[in-house]
Amino acid sequence: MKQRKVWAAAFAAVAMFAVAACGGDDAAEEVTEETEAAAEETTEEATPAEDYSMVKAAVVYITTPGDKGWSYMHDLGIAQMESELGIEVTRLELVPEGAEAVAVFDKLARDGYNLILGTSFGYMDPMLEVAAKYPNVCFQHASGYKTAANMGNYFGAMEEARYLSGIAAASSSKSGKLGYVAAFPIPEVLRGINAFTLGARSVNPAATVQVAWTSTWYDPAVEKEAAQSLLAAGADVLAQHQDSPATGEAAKEAGAKWVGYNSDVSRTWSKESSARLRADESSKS
Q: Are residues 11 and 121 in the same domain?
A: yes
Categorize the per-residue pLDDT at 8 as very low, low, confident or very high, splitting at 50, 70 and 90: low
Residues 147 and 247 reside in one and the same domain? no
Asked whether 150 and 215 are in contact (CB, 8 A), the reply is: no
For the chain, state the CA radius of gyration: 20
In a domain, 284, yes or no: no
Q: How many CB atoms lie within 10 A of CB 117?
A: 28
pLDDT of residue 22: 35
Residue 284 has pLDDT above 50, yes or no: no
* Cβ partners under 8 Å of residue 211, min gap 6: 179, 180, 181, 182, 193
Does residue 11 have a pLDDT over 70? no
pLDDT at 19: 39
184 shares a domain with 103: no
What total number of domains does the chain contain? 2
pLDDT tops 80 at residue 3:
no
Residues 21 and 108 reside in one and the same domain:
yes
One domain for residues 162 and 150: no
CB neighbour class for 285 (10 Å; exposed up to 12, middle 13-18, buried from 19)? exposed
CATH code at position 267: 3.40.50.2300
pLDDT at residue 155, as a whole number: 87
Q: Considering only residues 42 and 11, tell me which one the structure prediction assigns the higher pLDDT.
A: 11
Query: Which DSSP symbol is given to 240?
Result: E
Q: How many residues does the chain have?
A: 285
Torsion, Cα of 70, 75, 245, 225 (10° steps): -50
Please report the pLDDT score of residue 149 as a whole number.
Answer: 96
Q: What are phi and psi of 60, to 5 degrees?
A: -115, 125
Q: Which residues of 171-183 are buried (b: 16+ CB within 10 A; e: fewer)?
A: bbbeebbbbbbbb
